[in-house]
Amino acid sequence: MSGFIDSIRNIFKIEELRNRLLFTLGLLVVVRIGAHITLPGIDASLLAEAQKNQASNTLFGLYDLFVGGAFQNAAIFALGIMPYISASIIIQLLGAVFPYFQKLQKEGEDGRKKINQLTRIGTIPVAALQAWGVSVQLASRNVGGISVISPEISSWMFTFSTVIILTAGTVFMMWLGEQITERGIGNGISLIIFIGIIDRFPYAIFDEYQIVSSGARNILIEIIYIAALLFIIAGVIAVTVATRKIPVQYAKRVIGRKVFGGVTQYIPMKVNSAGVMPLIFAQSIMFIPSTFLSFFPNSEFMQGISRYFDYTSWTYSIVYALLIIFFTYFYTAIAFNPKDVSDNMKKQGGFIPGVRPGKPTSDYIDNILTKITLPGAIFLAIIAILPTFLMNLGVTTGLASFFGGTSLLIIVGVALDTLQQIESHLLMRHYDGFMKSGRLKARR
């Protein structure tokens, strides 16, 4: 414990790290403030009353978890950063189909900047479409026949202003995320989602406390639930940091045909090389049907279809799990290219013992990566759909969503990655970091 406190003190001894950390915290505070500013034309008291009658176990309830309650508050940041992520998915998928985008992905830093610019531009129409759906959904809400929209504003003016404000809010959050990434600590986009999920934690605990205190659930059952959730957390951390190392032999000196002074290094290959991105990507895809169906709040046929995409339905769970497995392989292929690793090893005079350099080495690494990625992808999928099982066992929606699914994986992944960046700053200044031993250290 004393070592952890010393590491905290060391953070504030380093001026650059301290400024980066305070800058990140300041922008995250701005994000949370925006999640509580209601859209103009909305009666906040009527909206709060209408929310009591809305089921929290729907996909919109999960969306509200990712944006930290901003969707439920009909706030200016109600869309969160999800439109940006959806645009990013579209651009990356286009890279697997169109040569132009494939070329950009291979152009290094210049190509990355162009792709980022295209993603920013693509965010605007995606956000505008989702904002339009939100305006239609808000217009359909009422309490005792009284609409939550103020009668002083016309329907077309409300729709127009809502689309403009929500789209601008998403673009502003996108800019905040990029500023955090460049001038702060951690990945800004991931941290915005992270802070929104963390904001829901006190509400989930309070709901669970009310159930236990009212006598609706036995305290022993509650302890069993908590123990099971802690076991899940341990499993999530284990799969996040687990690695397999491939030995690579490098020659120091060559005389004739004999190699002297060879040195062995290792290629660390994580079970989950893609991190939390498959979850975020898959979840963004799953929000698309609900966004489309939100345009038809009064259609019984469309609402019947929406039940198949309900957060607790088996159809949703199966499709979501398959998408996670697909995006795990897809993002791993982007983040770790076996051919590039093989070429770099060949240029530096390295080889894997028992494997010929060149294509055989590339195939060998690809084979190992495919095998270790599969259990990681399946584990991510199981944890992501776990809330469906927990809610059927009686766990409240808030607690099940927070501890048993996508949100938990995002929290662990983002926290470890951010901690790793802080660790790097501390080690560069010859300070002891947070991760002195164990598997957490291997993430460096």
pTM for the structure as a whole: 0.71
Mean pLDDT on 290-300: 69
For the record, the structure tokens of 39 come out as 């859209």
The total of other beta-carbon atoms located within 10 Å of residue 315's CB is 11
Q: What pLDDT score was predicted for residue 170? A: 93
- Indicate the residue type of 261: G
Q: What is the DSSP string of 232-293?
A: HHHHHHHHHH-EEEEEEEE-SEEETTEEES-EEEEEEEETTTTTTHHHHHHHHHHHHHHHHH
pLDDT in tens, 325-338: 888 888 887 777 78
423 vs 415: CA distance, rounded Å: 12
How is the beta sheet containing 263-270 ordered, strand by strand? 263-270, 243-250, 350-351
- Tell me: the pLDDT tens digits for 113-152? 888 899 999 999 999 988 888 888 788 777 777 777 877 7
Q: How far lies 89's CA from each of 96, 290, 396, 409, 434, in Å? A: 11, 18, 32, 19, 34
More confident call, 374 vs 303: 374
Q: Going by DSSP bridges, is the β-strand pair 253-255/258-260 parallel, antiparallel, or unpaired?
A: antiparallel
Cβ-proximal residues to 315 (8 Å cutoff; 6+ apart), any chain: 308, 309
Q: How far apart are CA 385 and CA 148, in angstroms?
A: 33
User: What's the CATH fold of domain 2-442?
Assistant: Preprotein translocase SecY subunit (1.10.3370)
Q: Which of 111-125, 191-205, 268-282, 293-307 has the lowest mean pLDDT?
A: 293-307
For the chain, give every domain's residue range: 2-442
Confidence of residue 438 (pLDDT cuts 50, 70, 90): very low
Rounded mean pLDDT, 300-323: 77
**Per-residue exposure over 119-156, b if at least 16 CB sit within 10 Å of its own CB, e if not:** bbebbbebbbbbbbbbbbbbbebebeeebbbeeeeeee
Instruction: Give burial (CB, 10 Å; 0-12/13-18/19+) of 256.
Output: exposed
Cα–Cα distance between 310 and 59 in angstroms, integer? 6
Whether residue 221 has pLDDT greater than 60: yes
d(CA 85, CA 177): 12
Please state the rounded mean pLDDT for residues 256-272. Answer: 63
In what helix (H) or strand (E) does residue 441 lie, and over which residues does it extend? Answer: helix 439-442
- The amino acid at 240: T
Which of 16, 331, 34 has its CA nearest to residue 174?
34
- Count of CA atoms in the C-beta half-sphere (13 A) of 208: 23
* Structure tokens, 312: 């607790």
Burial class of residue 389 (count of CB atoms within 10 Å of its CB; 0-12, 13-18, 19+): middle
For 48-170, strand residue ranges (E) read 142-143, 146-147
Q: For residue 141, report the phi and psi dihedrals to the nearest 5 degrees.
A: -80, 140
> Is residue 56 classed as helix, strand or coil in its secondary structure?
coil
> Which position has the higher pLDDT, 280 or 378?
378
270 or 28, greater pLDDT: 28
pLDDT at 387: 72
Q: What is the pLDDT of residue 401?
A: 64
Taking each helix axis from N to C end, the angle separating 406-428 and 2-13, rounded to the nearest 10 degrees, works out to 70
For residue 14, pLDDT beyond 70 = yes
CA distances from 237 to 116, 179, 274, 410 (A): 30, 28, 14, 11
Residue 199 has pLDDT above 60, yes or no: yes
Residue that is written with structure tokens 């414990």 in the block: 1
For residues 25 and 210, the model is more confident at: 25
Q: Is the pLDDT of residue 278 over 90?
A: no
Residue 31 · residue 77 · CB < 8 Å? yes
Q: What is the pLDDT of residue 177?
A: 92
pLDDT winner (highest mean) among 60-69, 102-111, 370-379 = 370-379
Q: Which pairs from 386-392 meet CB under 8 Å and 24+ separation?
A: 386/232, 387/311, 387/312, 388/311, 388/312, 388/313, 388/314, 388/316, 388/317, 390/225, 391/57, 391/312, 392/312
pLDDT tens-digit readout, 405-436: 667 777 777 887 888 888 877 777 665 555 55
Share of the chain above pLDDT 70, in %: 73
**Least confident residue range of 47-56, 103-112, 175-184:** 47-56
Burial of residue 428, with CB atoms counted within 10 A of its CB: 0-12 exposed, 13-18 middle, 19 or more buried: exposed
Helix locations, 184-218, DSSP H = 188-213
